[in-house]
Chain A
Amino acid sequence: MIHARGLARTFAGRGKGAEKVEVKAVAGVDIDVDEGEIVGFLGPNGAGKTTTLRMLTTLLTPTAGTATVAGYDVVTESQKVRRSIGYVSQSGSTSPEARAGEEIVDHGMLYGISKAQATARGRELFEQLDLDGLWTREPKAMSGGQRRRLDIAMGLVHDPTLVFLDEPTTGLDPQARANLWTHISDLRSRRGATIFLTTHYLDEADALCDRILVIDHGTIVASDTPDALKRQVSGDLVELVLADASRSGEAATVLSRVADDDLTVSGATVSARVRGAGHEVAGLIRSLDAAGIALESLEVRRPTLDDVFLTLTGRSLREDA
């Protein structure tokens, strides 16, 4: 569905004073997305996610490289690309004072479908996206979650086979986010749509995506399934909190026997990366017990995509997010 090779975009910017500098927003990325996949595009703010998305959706012309989307070239066949894709941008898609139903019908008609068809399609989408009864509601009187679902309906009115979602859940409360995730997975299960979404939320990429592309400083630094990416991080994080901080040295020695990486001691807390922690933890507790080291608590955490990002780039996603 998407094949990009060396796709790049530089902007003319300004350095100190009047000197002109070129800002490389996207420094040449290769992207392949197959039909029916849900692919997440993960990276901190300013990593080049939105710029890449805008190139793939024909809103921005690449300065180098090529891309075909839904079988058409984004530069020379942009009209055909636009017809085949749906795009849900992060800034919304409707006027706050317009009526939801009218916006969706007009939007459908701009795609060349008839008014009757656009109305039928809009009604159907409102039903699927839990927007029943909001046809004449003004977006300014909707909740954040309803507005996002309306944006998604706008992006689907012409029945695209490929849908781009730019930060679909930014600014929503946890309940509305979880609800939206269900709707996004439904897009594929009900309609067989291919979905390409950007996010800087790790749990979102984790919950939704078959595959994740990690972008940083305008280049793709990893592309794999969430689980495979997490396996790159050497093991689960085992964190011991001791009843007596003075025993932390001994505890570290015990933990180091099973640890793979990142052994750290801080006060009464001793932690390390342990491969297959579920298997190792029983023996660990026995050894600690035998040495007479009392535990306040023990926690095993599976690596998160934040850990993946840290491993890949040497910095945390959250710093920039």
Chain B
Amino acid sequence: MFWRETFIVFRRQLRLALRNPAWVIIGLIQPILYLVLFGPLLEPIAGQLGAQNAYTLFVPGLLVQLGLFGALFAGFGLIAEWRAGVIEAERVTPASRTALLLGRILRDVLQLVVQGAVLIGLAFFFGLTGSIAGMFLGLLLTVLLGAACAAASNALALTTKSEDVMAPLINSVALPVLLLSGILLPMTIGPQWLQIVSDFIPTKYIVNAIRELFTGDFFTITVFWGVLWTLVLFAAGLWVGTRTFRKENA
């Protein structure tokens, strides 16, 4: 029953997304623009940054950026649905409240998988080399992070019910997290104070772990921390999300 309900919600969401693919396309073009317009700038300085290949450094960063930004904005669609009465109509059915959330997150996850795969595939043309298995694992970590962010974003949307409250809130969190995660440039080239601040940002460990996975180093302490943080964030995101969806009057 639960999976059937989840699938009904997922299929509906996917259908709506594909019928109006503007957001899917924008989400896809953004990382490609980074790859095309920023990637070449990194190539000559990759060696100085401690990487043999500029793209094993850069693509993991872009993946995490996708997972963070793409998914954090997923909740905006939910506000529109809430306003149209869809959420309440679904909540008055006997369907599981968790299924209503999970079906939506799965759509975001699918979108993320496609975007990530396109990004990695395209990066090969620019000269990405590395461990294919590592890339798959990196994509997996990205997807788990994205699911957590999508769940949190949906929970936030259902709590605030206002784009005007949500947009500045997400931006004010996402931008510093993005910068301090070392997505464009590794934090190691920064001054001491910046590195210390970035130590408090969980996604920095995830970016670093995916970078090592891309180069084929699987069993390192960096990968361990990255995987651990991904799992912690994943569990926390889903917990907050389901709790909010189960709450009455949400």
**Which residues of A line the B interface, CB within 8 A?**
54, 57-61, 79, 82-83, 85, 87, 89, 91-98, 102, 106-107, 109-112, 151, 154
Contact flag A112-B1 (CB < 8 Å), given A61-B248, A91-B84, A94-B84: yes
Other than A60-B248, A111-B93, give 16 A-B pairs with Cβ distance below 8 A. Answer: A54-B249, A57-B92, A61-B249, A85-B92, A87-B92, A92-B84, A92-B86, A92-B89, A94-B85, A94-B86, A95-B16, A97-B20, A102-B15, A107-B89, A107-B90, A111-B95
Docked-complex contact A89 and B94, CB < 8 angstroms:
no
Q: Which residues of B contact A102 (CB under 8 A)?
A: 12, 15
Q: Which residues of B contact A54 (CB under 8 A)?
A: 249
Which residues of chain B (1-30) have a CB below 8 Å from chain A? 1, 4-5, 8-9, 11-12, 15-16, 19-20
Smallest CB-CB separation from A157: which chain B residue? B93
Q: Which residues of A contact B94 (CB under 8 A)?
A: 79, 82-83, 110-112
Minimum Cβ distance to chain B for residue A272 (Å): 47
- In the bound complex, how far is the Cα of B133 from the Cα of A63, in angstroms? 55
In the complex, whether B81 has a CB less than 8 A from a CB of chain A is yes
Which residues of chain B (68-115) have a CB below 8 Å from chain A? 80-81, 83-86, 88-95
Smallest CB-CB separation from A85: which chain B residue? B92
- In the bound complex, how far is the Cα of B58 from the Cα of A302, in angstroms? 79
Q: Which of B15, B88, B95 contacts A110 (CB 8 A)?
A: B95
Docked-complex contact B93 and A96, CB < 8 angstroms:
no
Q: Which residues of B contact A82 (CB under 8 A)?
A: 92-94
Interface SS of chain B: helix, strand, loop or mixed?
A: helix
Minimum Cβ distance to chain B for residue A119 (Å): 14
Docked-complex contact A91 and B12, CB < 8 angstroms:
no
- In the bound complex, how far is the Cα of B85 from the Cα of A107, in angstroms? 13
Smallest CB-CB separation from A79: which chain B residue? B94
Minimum Cβ distance to chain B for residue A77 (Å): 11
- In the bound complex, how far is the Cα of B89 from the Cα of A59, in angstroms? 10
Smallest CB-CB separation from A60: which chain B residue? B249
- In the bound complex, how far is the Cα of B8 from the Cα of A90, in angstroms? 24
Minimum Cβ distance to chain A for residue B102 (Å): 13
Smallest CB-CB separation from A151: which chain B residue? B85
Minimum Cβ distance to chain B for residue A231 (Å): 37
**Which residues of B line the A interface, CB within 8 A?**
1, 4-5, 8-9, 11-12, 15-16, 19-20, 80-81, 83-86, 88-95, 248-249
Docked-complex contact A97 and B19, CB < 8 angstroms:
yes
Docked-complex contact B248 and A107, CB < 8 angstroms:
no
Smallest CB-CB separation from B7: which chain A residue? A109
Smallest CB-CB separation from B95: which chain A residue? A110
- In the bound complex, how far is the Cα of B12 from the Cα of A97, in angstroms? 11
Contact flag A97-B16 (CB < 8 Å), given A82-B93, A110-B95, A111-B94: yes
Minimum Cβ distance to chain B for residue A137 (Å): 14
- In the bound complex, how far is the Cα of B5 from the Cα of A47, in angstroms? 36
- In the bound complex, how far is the Cα of B90 from the Cα of A290, in angstroms? 69
Q: Which residues of A contact B88 (CB under 8 A)?
A: 59, 89, 91, 93
Q: Which residues of B contact A111 (CB under 8 A)?
A: 93-95
Q: Which of B8, B92, B248 contacts A106 (CB 8 A)?
A: B8
Minimum Cβ distance to chain A for residue B94 (Å): 4
- In the bound complex, how far is the Cα of B20 from the Cα of A111, in angstroms? 27
Q: Which residues of A contact B90 (CB under 8 A)?
A: 107, 110
Q: Which residues of A contact B12 (CB under 8 A)?
A: 98, 102, 106
Q: Which residues of A contact B84 (CB under 8 A)?
A: 91-96
- In the bound complex, how far is the Cα of B83 from the Cα of A93, in angstroms? 9
Docked-complex contact A110 and B16, CB < 8 angstroms:
no
Q: Which residues of B contact A60 (CB under 8 A)?
A: 248-249
Minimum Cβ distance to chain A for residue B78 (Å): 11
- In the bound complex, how far is the Cα of B91 from the Cα of A321, in angstroms? 28
Name 28 interchain pairs, CB-CB below 8 A, sorted by A: A54-B249, A58-B92, A59-B91, A59-B92, A60-B249, A82-B92, A82-B93, A82-B94, A89-B89, A91-B83, A92-B86, A93-B85, A93-B86, A93-B89, A94-B84, A95-B16, A95-B81, A95-B86, A98-B12, A107-B90, A107-B93, A109-B8, A110-B5, A110-B9, A110-B90, A110-B94, A111-B93, A151-B85
Docked-complex contact B8 and A110, CB < 8 angstroms:
yes
- In the bound complex, how far is the Cα of B90 from the Cα of A109, in angstroms? 11
- In the bound complex, how far is the Cα of B5 from the Cα of A94, in angstroms? 17
Minimum Cβ distance to chain B for residue A155 (Å): 8
Minimum Cβ distance to chain A for residue B162 (Å): 15
- In the bound complex, how far is the Cα of B92 from the Cα of A54, in angstroms? 10
Which of B5, B19, B92 has the largest number of chain A CB atoms within 10 A?
B92
Q: Which residues of B contact A87 (CB under 8 A)?
A: 89, 92
Minimum Cβ distance to chain A for residue B157 (Å): 15
Q: Which residues of A contact B93 (CB under 8 A)?
A: 82, 107, 110-111
Which 7 pairs between the two chains have the least Cβ-Cβ distance? Answer: A92-B85, A93-B89, A91-B85, A110-B93, A110-B95, A82-B94, A87-B92
